[in-house]
A and B are shown apart, each in its own frame.
Chain A
Amino acid sequence: MPTANKEQIEERMTAALESFGAERDQIKRDANWEALDVDSLDLVELAQIVEEEYGVKMKEEDMKELKTVGDAVDFVAERAKS
């Protein structure tokens, strides 16, 4: 699995969220899912992408703690390193 820094992860997640239909200029670290109109189905897709690309599992219980784009980026960056 390739190592990735936080900026790269954020960039990848932004691209994924944009492909789900979120507005690019709304996708910021402090944006929460509701504001981006990202629902549980989108989050499952996001988790699939993250696992495939960074080998990081985002389980349902983890998801509950991740309220914003920044939360998710930090979560993945933390685990992608180890």
Chain B
Amino acid sequence: MTQRVVITGIGALTPLGVGAETLIERWSAGESGIEDGLGRCREFEPTEHLSIKEARRADRFTQLAIVACDEALTQASWEDGPSVDPERVGCVMGTGIGGIGTIEEQLEVLRVRGAEAVSPLAVPMMMANAASGVVAMRHGLKGQCYGTVSACAAGAHAIGAGLRMVQHGDVEACVVGGAEAGITPLSQAAFVGMGATSPSGTSRPFDARRDGFVMGEGAAALVLESEEGARERGAEVLGYLAGYGATADAHHLTAPEPSGEGASRAIALALADADIGPDGVDWVNAHGTSTQLNDRSETEALKRALGERAREIPVSSLKSAIGHTLGAAGAVEAAATALALRRGIAPPTIGWEERDEDCDLDYVPGDARTLESNGRPLRAISNSFGFGGHNAVLCLEAA
């Protein structure tokens, strides 16, 4: 039997503020962190958390990752380094793009001042694996360490990779998550150019009037441990990471496969991995981007994977409150899922008002809803899908 894997630390830095509790508190209250059509982490001030040296050597996406990981590790009582053999602690952080702010800035330096003026810090700042490397260095984590890159599924893939690592016994614990700071001129223009973002600047997942996603930024992290190890050291168990499923659409560079086939296979794999059926799922934290294509095909995927049960389960999208944090989204949403399960609630899909005939599930309009536990621990799935046809689904269970 494989190891059960528990969550012993949660950290998040999002447009709703600094801290995981702030995220769940404000989302549950129906508050939005989106302003002027963007989900920026406006409350984040790097020098409040990092030394001058740390801040100037880290692209914003890495800065966000550092703060989220610090919070998660502090909650796990590992702020001064892990209490287990550090060679048995891994770190996997996902990102969609990596240090795009650094790339854009240094390209300007190259053009204006020439090649010799390009910063020696450019490479270590722009590389997509910087977040995992810097976090491992900061906390002395010496096990497997790498970044995952799968667009908007990257954070979920990172968590899935960490889950397998712990289950397999490669490590005793793994710090996992995702980070993105892609609200930059080139990145914004590129998403606008492909017609993915909302011209109205509104994130309205599953609503008939939705017109694209709102760009967000942020980071989140979880500390995963074997249940045995966590219990032995007396760590508080915040929840279980019960299952993981990942597939590819093999269909189109950006458009999801319309029938939701690939996504539904990922959901089915995650449920099988958690050894449960559709009846064992109480809530869906959807990918729900607010694009026409995603929300329709995700609805199809849920119906395919969960059958009739899909109509009974509340389906919420955090992107209604913070926009789309791209490569961080899978991690931010997994963190929010774990926290919502602890509270026994399904937070709302903010702004959902008009039913789309192709999106005919219960999207939790209005207020947060209490979840019925049915005499067993509450469970939820957290969906993440990325350009390139990447599908990653996590199944979480309340402690």
Contact = CB atoms under 8 A, between A and B. Distances in A.
A37 B121 contact: no
Contact of B120 (A19, A21, A37, A41): A41
Contacts of B52: 19-21
Contacts of B121: 41, 45
A20 B56 CA distance: 8
Nearest to B123: A41
A45 B119 contact: yes
Contacts, number: 25
B387 to A, nearest CB: 33
Contacts of B51: 21
Interface residues of A, number: 10
Nearest to A51: B116
Contacts of B54: 21
A33 B56 CA distance: 18
A20 B51 CA distance: 10
A4 interface: no
Nearest to A23: B52
Nearest to B53: A21
- A interface, over-half SS: helix
Given A48-B116, A51-B116, A41 B124 contact: yes
Contact of B53 (A37, A48, A51): A37
B253 interface: no
Nearest to A52: B117
Interface string A39-70: 00100110010011000000000000000000
A19 B55 CA distance: 11
Interface string B40-61: 0000000000011110110000
B53 A20 contact: yes
A48 B56 contact: no
A55 B315 CA distance: 63
B212 to A, nearest CB: 40
Interface in B100-119: 116-117, 119
Nearest to B57: A41
B295 to A, nearest CB: 45
Contacts of A41: 57, 120-121, 124
Contacts of A51: 116
B124 A48 contact: no
User: 6 smallest A-B Cβ distances: which pairs?
Assistant: A21-B53, A44-B120, A21-B52, A41-B120, A45-B120, A41-B121
Interface of B: 51-54, 56-57, 116-117, 119-121, 124
11 contacts: A19-B52, A19-B56, A21-B51, A21-B52, A21-B53, A21-B56, A41-B124, A44-B120, A48-B119, A48-B120, A52-B117
Given A21-B51, A41-B120, A45-B119, 18 more contacts: A19-B52, A19-B56, A20-B52, A20-B53, A21-B52, A21-B53, A21-B56, A37-B53, A41-B57, A41-B124, A44-B120, A45-B120, A45-B121, A48-B116, A48-B117, A48-B120, A51-B116, A52-B117
